[in-house]
Chains A and B, each alone.
Chain A
Amino acid sequence: EPEVTQTPSHQVTQMGQEVILRCVPISNHLYFYWYRQILGQKVEFLVSFYNNEISEKSEIFDDQFSVERPDGSNFTLKIRSTKLEDSAMYFCASSFSGRGTDTQYFGPGTRLTVL
């Protein structure tokens, strides 16, 4: 069964550094998402992406964040200048259709630790 994959599984970085988290969505899916989960808390929406454009973003997704689909398979989340409070698990997800009416499949996550 196809799965969403993410790399790296764990990223440690110094405050102020840039990080790029990578995701490979399921191949026939058209909608891509990033969520984050601070330890012990709920899953929070960051951004959704379709047809090379952001469909929706949350207030968490400020100017320090950006997303890109650099080629036909990868979907990336960049944090330009990391802060301590960016430490969290970041999940990529994908779905065939959007508008929240289709199942979203989650990747295994990248644990980001900002020191």
Chain B
Amino acid sequence: GENVEQHPSTLSVQEGDSAVIKCTYSDSASNYFPWYKQELGKRPQLIIDIRSNVGEKKDQRIAVTLNKTAKHFSLHITETQPEDSAVYFCAAPGTYKYIFGTGTRLKVLA
């Protein structure tokens, strides 16, 4: 069935270091992969997305890579800052929905 696995569940990094979060999906027909950032008590906010016709996309300190063969995609945050602390969710598309990963709580230590 449709499933998205996300690792790690928690991640602590020193300010300025990089953070990497990985997701794997099961539906080989999936072709759009968004990443959301959710601060405590707030809505999920789209931070970056990638379509299956590209392997990597960058937006300043954030990048996403996609390996369609292996069915996994990763979020990379460089030069982390305290305001990057949040829960990050990956998602993969179902027929008329998103299937979300279980989330990664990122803590950036000052």
| A interface residues with partner B (beta carbon < 8 Å) | 31, 33, 35, 41-45, 48, 50, 55-56, 58, 91, 98-109
Q: Which residues of A contact B32 (CB under 8 A)?
A: 100-102
Count chain A CB atoms within 10 A of each CB in B36, B45, B100 and give the residue with the most: B100
B99 at the interface (CB under 8 A from A): yes
Q: Report the interface size class on chain B.
A: 20 to 34
| B interface residues with partner A (beta carbon < 8 Å) | 30-32, 34, 36, 42-46, 49, 89, 92-103
- Check B43 against A100 for contact (C-beta < 8 Å): no
From B44, B49, B96, B102, A106 is in contact (CB under 8 Å) with B44
From A50, A98, A103, A108, B42 is in contact (CB under 8 Å) with A108
CB distance from A42 to the nearest CB of B (A): 5
Known: A98-B96, A100-B93, A104-B98. A42 touches B43 (CB 8 A): no
From A41, A100, A103, B96 is in contact (CB under 8 Å) with A100
- Check A43 against B43 for contact (C-beta < 8 Å): no
CB distance from A39 to the nearest CB of B (A): 10
A101 to B46, CA, bound (A): 14
CB distance from B44 to the nearest CB of A (A): 5
A13 to B32, CA, bound (A): 38
A108 to B39, CA, bound (A): 11
Q: Which residue of B lies closest to A4 (CB)?
A: B43
Known: A42-B102, A102-B32. A56 touches B96 (CB 8 A): yes
Q: Which residue of B lies closest to A89 (CB)?
A: B41
CB distance from A10 to the nearest CB of B (A): 10
Q: Which residues of B contact A56 (CB under 8 A)?
A: 94-97
- Check B96 against A109 for contact (C-beta < 8 Å): no
A55 to B93, CA, bound (A): 14
- Check B89 against A33 for contact (C-beta < 8 Å): no
- 3 closest A-B pairs by beta carbon, nearest first, are A100-B93, A55-B96, A48-B96
